[in-house]
Amino acid sequence: MTHPGAPREPEGMAPGAGGCADTPILRERGQREVFCGLTGIIWLHRKIQDAFFLVVGSRTCAHLLQSAAGVMIFAEPRFATAIIEERDLAGLADANEELDRVVTRLIQRRPDIRMLFLVGSCPSEVIKLDLSRAAQRLSQRFSPSVRVLNYSGSGIETTFTEGEDACLAALVPEMPAEPGTARSLLVVGALAEVVEDQFIRLFAALGVGPVRFLPSRRASELPAVGEGTRFLLAQPFLAGTARALEARGARHIPAPFPLGEEGTTAWLRAAAEVWGIGEERFSQATAQGRERARAALANHRATLDGKSIFFFPDSQLEVPLARFLSRELGMKPIEIGTPYLHRQHLAHELALLPAAAKLVEGQHVDKQLDRCREARPDMTVCGLGLANPLEAEGLTTKWSIELVFSPIQGYDQAGDLAGLFARPLVRREKLMV
C-alpha cells in the first residue's frame, strides 16, 4: 500500500546514538511505500494456533490479506475480514450489531477458537468504530470459552511490523500474574517453531530458565509475567509490547538482536550474564552453534564481501540486518532507512554499525529513490512496490517482507539469512553472463 503518512518527529538532522553517535540521523517525512499492520496476521495466525483474526475493514483489506497470504489459504483459514459496507460508512446501519452477528456466527461455526482478535483497519478507524468496547462486550458474552481482544492494524501512520507489536501488546494484560519474584526469562517476538526449539535447547544448556515465549503457541497458555520476569526482544519492532511488559513489572535485557553468529552470541550472552553463568559454561553451550554458523556464513562471503547495500525503511529490521551484513559478511551499507529508530532497543546495534553508513528515520520515498539511483548499490532492500521498478532500472533488490516471513534468527539460520542476500546477486551475475 502507499500511504501519504508522516513520521512522528520533524524532518531534519538529529544527533545519532550509541557507537554511531557521531553519525547524524536524517529524519524524513513524506510519502511512504509500506504495507500496513494487517500483514502481521499472516505470520501471527500460524504462530498462535487457537486464535482467529477478524479484520473489521473493507474489500481492500480483504484483498491485501489474501494476496499477502498467497498460497497459504487453507480450507479453514484462521483469519477473515468482516467487510464494512457503504451503508455502514454512511452511518445507515448499526455496525456494532452487525459485528456481533458476524462474531456469533463465527464462534458457533468454529468451536476450535479460543481467542478472537478484532483487528481494526483504516475504515473502522475512519467511522470510529470502538473495537475495544466491542471486544469487552463480546468477551463477556463468550467467556470463558473464547476471549475477545482487539488491536489496530490500520495503515494510517503505521508500518507492517507494527501489527505484531499491537497484537502482542494486546496480549500482555491477559498474561497471568507470576506469583512472587522468582526469576524467569521471556523471549518476546513471534519466532518460527524451529527457531524457538533451538533457543529452548540453548538456554537449557546454558542453565538459563525457566524460558517462556510471547506469543505462546496457544493463546490459552499465555506465559505468566511479574517482578521476576526478565525479557529479551527477539524482534526490533516491539516497543509497545516492551512498554506493556514493563508496566507489569518485567525488565528488559538490553542486547543486540539474534541475527548471525555475533548477534546470536551477544543476545544469549546478555541473558547468561543476568543469570550469572560463567564464561566456561557459556563457551561450551554455544561453541558448536557458533562453529556451524561461521561455516555456513563462509559459503556466502565471497559473493557478498565488499558489495554495497541500500535499505529503504520498511520492516524495522534494517539496523540489525545492516550490522550483520557489514560485520559478518563484509557488505558496505550506504544508507540504512528505518521507519522508526528506537534508540534504546537499538543501542547495541547502532554501536556496531560502520560509521560511514547514513542512517535515515522515516521516509520521503522520492528523495530516497533519487539517492538510491545516484548510489547505484549492488543490492537494494525494499518493499514489494519498489522492487519491480528498481529491478527494471537494473538494480538488484531483496524484498524486506521476506525477511519477516522467513526463519532467520539463531545460529542455524545464519547461513540461510546470508543466502537470502547472496541469491539475487548470484542470479543477476548469471543473467549478465
Query: Which residues in this chain contact ligand SF4 in the complex, by CB under 6 A?
Result: 1, 36, 38, 57-58, 60-61, 64, 121-122, 153-155
Dist CA 39 CA 65 (whole Å): 7
Dist CA 302 CA 295 (whole Å): 13
| Nearest Cα to Cα of residue 258 among 202, 301, 336 | 202
Residue closer to ligand SF4 (CB basis): 61 or 192: 61
Supply the minimum distance, in Å, between the C-beta of residue 116 and ligand SF4. Answer: 18
Residue closer to ligand SF4 (CB basis): 122 or 238: 122
Supply the minimum distance, in Å, between the C-beta of residue 120 and ligand SF4. Answer: 8
Residue closer to ligand SF4 (CB basis): 154 or 368: 154
Supply the minimum distance, in Å, between the C-beta of residue 68 and ligand SF4. Answer: 9
Dist CA 4 CA 24 (whole Å): 25
- DSSP H/E element including 426: helix 414-432
Dist CA 337 CA 34 (whole Å): 13
Supply the minimum distance, in Å, between the C-beta of residue 3 and ligand SF4. Answer: 7
| Nearest Cα to Cα of residue 417 among 426, 427, 407 | 407
| Nearest Cα to Cα of residue 148 among 56, 237, 85 | 56
Supply the minimum distance, in Å, between the C-beta of residue 147 and ligand SF4. Answer: 23
Residue closer to ligand SF4 (CB basis): 158 or 380: 158
Closest CB to ligand SF4: residue number: 155
Residue closer to ligand SF4 (CB basis): 107 or 118: 118
Supply the minimum distance, in Å, between the C-beta of residue 16 and ligand SF4. Answer: 31
Residue closer to ligand SF4 (CB basis): 61 or 418: 61
Determine how many CB atoms are found less than 10 A away from the CB of residue 199: 24
Residue type, 203: F
Whether the Cβ atoms of residue 54 and residue 46 lie closer than 8 Å to each other: no
- 261 Cβ neighbours under 8 A, 6+ residues apart: 290, 293, 294, 297, 328, 411, 414
